[in-house]
Chain A
């Protein structure tokens, strides 16, 4: 299983863009990169998934460089409700190994 490294925590303010970078140096050729969001006492919620280049959906963007050894989740114009733990995962067979995640705190 590819190991991921993310910052432990990040602070931001409402309306700002938050970028969380995840390192996954030993990602395998078939691995996808997936980001999840988790609120306290809830199961993780899917945010976005990508394989290479850039992926965008209604809530976030995911930037993946050509070597795929890292990825950056971009949350545009965060609000207080975006305060949560964000997990970066890489897997091929969906046997996901969760790292520590990044606790994002959005302040007013």
Chain B
């Protein structure tokens, strides 16, 4: 099956710093990528949808200036958590959809801990 690689798997940072998370589709071109966050023992919450070459569409309540999403190529989308604070600590997951595909493939997730 298709593979989506997410990096890093875990990151610890100081409050006020920015963190970039990468999501790559390894064997297909991802026209659309989705970003989610998940708190412990909770379900995934969709944060934003990104289409290659255009601005991301954010879900209600998600700050676009806080969570910068870039989908500059058909195989790479990045999520940057700017000026991270402890409340941003969470598990972030990406998923990708390629042209002609009928299901989403998910990355392995990134555990962000902000001290």
User: Closest chain B residue to A43 by CB distance?
Assistant: B106
B91 A45 Cβ-Cβ under 8 A:
no
A94 B104 Cβ-Cβ under 8 A:
yes
Q: Which of B34, B102, B109, B111 contacts A96 (CB 8 A)?
A: B34
B46 A96 Cβ-Cβ under 8 A:
yes
A95/B106 contact (C-beta < 8 A), A43-B6, A43-B95, A101-B43 known: no
Q: Which of B4, B36, B97, B109 contacts A42 (CB 8 A)?
A: B109
Given the complex of chains A and B, what is the CA–CA distance between A49 and B1 in angstroms?
14
Q: Which of B46, B102, B107 contacts A43 (CB 8 A)?
A: B107
Question: From residue B87, how far is it (CB to closest CB) to chain A in Å?
Answer: 20
A98 B45 Cβ-Cβ under 8 A:
yes
Report the count of interface residues on B (CB-CB < 8 A).
Answer: 25
B34 A43 Cβ-Cβ under 8 A:
no
Given the complex of chains A and B, what is the CA–CA distance between A100 and B34 in angstroms?
19
A34/B43 contact (C-beta < 8 A), A43-B95, A95-B34 known: no
Asked if A97 is at the interface of the complex by the 8 Å CB criterion, the answer is: yes
Instruction: Render A25-43 as a binary contact track against B, CB cut-off 8 A, 1 for contact.
Output: 0000000101010000111
Instruction: Render B30-46 as a binary contact track against A, CB cut-off 8 A, 1 for contact.
Output: 00101010000001111
Residues on B lying within 8 angstroms of A by beta carbon are 1, 4, 6, 32, 34, 36, 43-46, 49, 91, 93-95, 97, 102-109, 111
